[in-house]
């Protein structure tokens, strides 16, 4: 087993809205070997900016890095990357997956890499693009605790609240728990704000007053003002939360359990996406709630 | 119009779980003339304890007080009290209703009293029995702003966050907004915690970690630990929140609008009450969510 990643460097796969600023923070900490991205332009621009390498393939990246950090879109992407990098990873290496995918995918990836003596940590993040840029992400980790310790310098370069939740998959399960909660809260806040507006209440004063009470939440304090203005800049995009809730649904189905809160959010998000609001913040749920009150008293509920 | 209630005293109607400690706080501030309660024992005990009067009727109370504060159960009670005290109230008096009732009831009460030159303030509170005891309630007020100013000493003796929301009914509408939010949040927290438990996550660590993030809420931080322990001491009782949500439903119906979040909470609360859990904290919703995961993978959702 190798020593902690003191002077060691990570290759980064997936320079999206989250991945690019996370890779930049690794570079600032002197921990980035280089990056690979599906569209090579981004990797070359990052390489030029940070004096690191733009790799031609994930296999090449794996052969030149002590650790691999990835931030991709879907469960299939994670397993595809794992299979592609596996032949070139040295035993004792660590793969850190910051994507949001299912816990079973994390467990499968961990099993495939364990065969080669490589550790896999599922490390989904929360805190959005702002948190990724500022290096203030919360990172929820599942996997071998020794590998988690060794990965500390890399994780601390990208996030602020870094918690080991348990074995493989537990990082993803924690993230899924959070996404279910967000789904219900944003619907509650949207419905309450639509009601308050219909009652003619001064919305700023409502937010200030109720924001101090037992009905308050991060989403109420930070997103109800969007609703009051009728503007929904992302934030956390409707279509991304919908993707995450699809993962939650599959995970719950393994227990034979429905997730009524998540299902209703998926229905609302489906309508928002149809109406062209998929790239707005999830607070756009207010649009649908407000519409219920705009039908007028004769048409009923 | 009278001067502010410097040395003036209020009669208190309704010494329930909230009313009794609120009346005590008025007495401590030297602002209580005495009280009336449906069961006279409580009023006599309070009178003995605070060296104030136990009135034989609300009419007698009204004739001996500069202001009336009431904390009763239902919309009909509020109007009944208003009609009973009206003949004995002096012009320039103020009636402060701390009950949670519909905004229309508040407007009706205000209209009836306005004919006699008496102001009516709808002043529902939040903060629970603890807030009532500690004098730290949030009080959301609707009604004439001059009357609100004059009532300041009385309100400040009972609460800490005291906000004038607008004309008659606006205090109740603000409270209703809060109750809708609480309904959705407690369902979201319950569903998320049931999922987390089914995934085998360490619940204390989940609460600590997600409690710092964008999915957090007062209810998550303060009530998810109840769920983790499977104990639901009130708190905010299921049957009282159900009552409040019934008021919200009626208010929304005036706009022809449904409140899906509130309706689902009412359904869940109905089941809890049937199962004998109506006097537990609303976090008992976790019972129903956890049961979904206990049916096992074969029986589906």
Q: Write the Ramachandran bin of B90: left for phi over 0, alpha for psi from -120 to 50, otherwise beta.
A: beta
Q: What is the CATH number of domain B10-167?
A: 3.40.50.720
Every domain of chain A with CATH number 1.10.1040.10 lies at 174-294
Nearest-neighbour CA in chain B from A181: distance (Å) = 5
In angstroms, rounded to a whole number, what is the distance separating the alpha carbons of residues B58 and B64?
A: 10
**What's the pTM value of the predicted model, to 2 decimals?**
0.93
In angstroms, rounded to a whole number, what is the distance separating the alpha carbons of residues A159 and A172?
A: 16
Has residue A73 got a pLDDT over 70?
yes
Helix B203-210 and helix B218-229: axis angle, to 10°? 180
Look at strands B137-142 and B10-13 and give their pairing.
unpaired
Please check whether residue A98 touches B, CB under 8 A.
Answer: no
Every domain of chain B with CATH number 3.40.50.720 lies at 10-167
- In tens, the pLDDT along A203-248 reads 999 999 999 999 999 999 999 999 999 999 988 999 999 999 999 9
Classify residue B13 as exposed, middle or buried by CB count within 10 Å of its CB (0-12, 13-18, 19+): buried
- In tens, the pLDDT along A172-205 reads 999 999 999 999 999 999 999 999 999 999 999 9
In angstroms, rounded to a whole number, what is the distance separating the alpha carbons of residues A53 and A61?
A: 9
B212·A176 Cβ contact <8 A? no
How confident is the model at residue A300, as a pLDDT? 40
Has residue A301 got a pLDDT over 60?
no
Has residue A48 got a pLDDT over 90?
yes
Task: Decide if domain A174-294 falls under CATH 3.40.50.740.
Answer: no
How confident is the model at residue B299, as a pLDDT? 44
Give the single-character DSSP code of B263.
Answer: H
The SS3 call for residue B13 is strand
Chain A's closest residue to B179, CA to CA, is A215
Please check whether residue B145 touches A, CB under 8 A.
Answer: no
In angstroms, rounded to a whole number, what is the distance separating the alpha carbons of residues A216 and B221?
A: 11
How confident is the model at residue B1, as a pLDDT? 38
A165·B209 Cβ contact <8 A? yes
Give the single-character DSSP code of A109.
Answer: H
Classify residue A66 as exposed, middle or buried by CB count within 10 Å of its CB (0-12, 13-18, 19+): buried
- On whether ipTM exceeds 0.90, the answer is yes
Let me know: does B54 contact B15? Beta carbons within 8 Å.
Answer: no
A137 pairs with which residues across the strands?
A159
Has residue A291 got a pLDDT over 80?
yes
* Residue B103 with chain A: CB contacts under 8 Å: 199
Please check whether residue B228 touches A, CB under 8 A.
Answer: no
* Residue B255 with chain A: CB contacts under 8 Å: 198, 293, 296-297
Which A residues 10-29 touch B at CB under 8 Å? none
Q: Return the closest-CA partner of residue B136 out of B126, B146, B145.
A: B126
Let me know: does B103 contact B210? Beta carbons within 8 Å.
Answer: no
- Which entry of A9, A42, A133, A175 is annotated as an active-site residue? A175
* Residue B169 with chain A: CB contacts under 8 Å: 199
Has residue A251 got a pLDDT over 90?
yes
Look at strands A53-54 and A67-70 and give their pairing.
unpaired
In angstroms, rounded to a whole number, what is the distance separating the alpha carbons of residues A89 and A267?
A: 42
How confident is the model at residue A297, as a pLDDT? 59
How confident is the model at residue A4, as a pLDDT? 45
In the structure encoding, which two tokens stand for residue B134, read together? 């500690």
**Beta-carbon contacts below 8 Å between A and B:** 267
Q: Return the closest-CA partner of residue B97 out of B62, B142, B131.
A: B142
In angstroms, rounded to a whole number, what is the distance separating the alpha carbons of residues B108 and B295?
A: 50
Let me know: does B282 contact B181? Beta carbons within 8 Å.
Answer: no
For tokens 């010494």, what's the residue?
A: B15
- In tens, the pLDDT along A87-124 reads 999 999 999 999 999 999 999 999 999 999 999 999 99
A191·B178 Cβ contact <8 A? no
A181·B200 Cβ contact <8 A? no
Has residue A1 got a pLDDT over 70?
no
Predicted confidence pLDDT, tens digits, chain B (301 residues):
344 455 679 999 999 999 999 999 999 999 999 999 999 999 999 999 999 999 999 999 999 999 999 999 999 999 999 999 999 999 999 999 999 999 999 999 999 999 999 999 999 999 888 899 999 999 999 999 999 999 999 999 999 999 999 999 999 999 999 999 999 999 999 999 999 999 999 999 999 999 999 999 999 999 999 999 999 998 899 999 999 999 999 999 999 999 999 999 999 999 999 999 999 999 999 999 999 999 765 443 3
How confident is the model at residue A299, as a pLDDT? 44
When the pLDDT of each residue in chain A is averaged and rounded to a whole number, the result is: 94
Among the partner-chain residues A222, A236, A293, the one whose CB lies closest to the CB of B255 is A293
What's chain B's length in residues? 301
Let me know if B175 is a catalytic residue: yes
- In tens, the pLDDT along A276-286 reads 999 999 999 99
Has residue A6 got a pLDDT over 70?
no
How confident is the model at residue B99, as a pLDDT? 97
DSSP string, B267-296: HHHHHHHHTT-TTSBGGGHHHHHHHHHHS-
Chain A's closest residue to B189, CA to CA, is A181
Ranges A3-17, A47-61, B16-30, B73-87: which has the least confidence? A3-17
Chain A's closest residue to B180, CA to CA, is A192
In the structure encoding, which two tokens stand for residue A125, read together? 């993040």
């Amino acid at each position: 087993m190798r020593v902690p990643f003191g002077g060691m460097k990570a290759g980064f796969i997936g320079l999206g809205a989250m991945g690019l600023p996370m890779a930049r923070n690794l570079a600032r900490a002197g921990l980035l070997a280089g990056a690979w991205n599906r569209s090579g332009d981004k990797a070359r621009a990052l390489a030029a900016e940070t004096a690191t390498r733009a790799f031609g393939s994930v296999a090449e990246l794996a052969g030149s890095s002590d650790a691999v950090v990835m931030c991709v879109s879907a469960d299939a992407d994670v397993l595809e990357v794992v299979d592609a990098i596996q032949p070139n990873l040295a035993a004792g290496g660590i793969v850190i997956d910051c994507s949001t995918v299912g816990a079973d995918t994390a467990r499968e990836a961990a099993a495939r890499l364990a065969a080669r003596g490589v550790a896999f940590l599922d490390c989904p993040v929360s805190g959005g693009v702002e948190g990724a840029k500022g290096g203030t992400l919360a990172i929820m980790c599942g996997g071998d605790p020794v590998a988690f310790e060794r990965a500390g310098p890399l994780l601390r370069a990208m996030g602020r609240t870094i918690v080991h939740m348990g074995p493989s998959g537990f990082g993803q399960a924690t993230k899924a728990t959070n996404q279910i909660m967000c789904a219900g809260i944003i619907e509650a806040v949207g419905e309450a704000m639509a009601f308050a507006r219909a009652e003619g209440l001064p919305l700023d004063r409502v937010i200030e007053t109720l924001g101090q009470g037992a009905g308050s939440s991060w989403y109420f304090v930070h997103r109800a003002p969007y609703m009051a203005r009728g503007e929904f800049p992302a934030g956390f995009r409707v279509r991304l939360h919908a993707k995450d809730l699809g993962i939650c649904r599959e995970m719950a189905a393994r227990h034979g359990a429905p997730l009524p809160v998540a299902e209703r959010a998926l229905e609302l998000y489906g309508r928002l996406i149809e109406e062209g609001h998929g790239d707005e913040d999830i607070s756009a749920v207010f649009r649908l709630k407000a519409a219920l009150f705009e039908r007028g008293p004769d048409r009923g509920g």
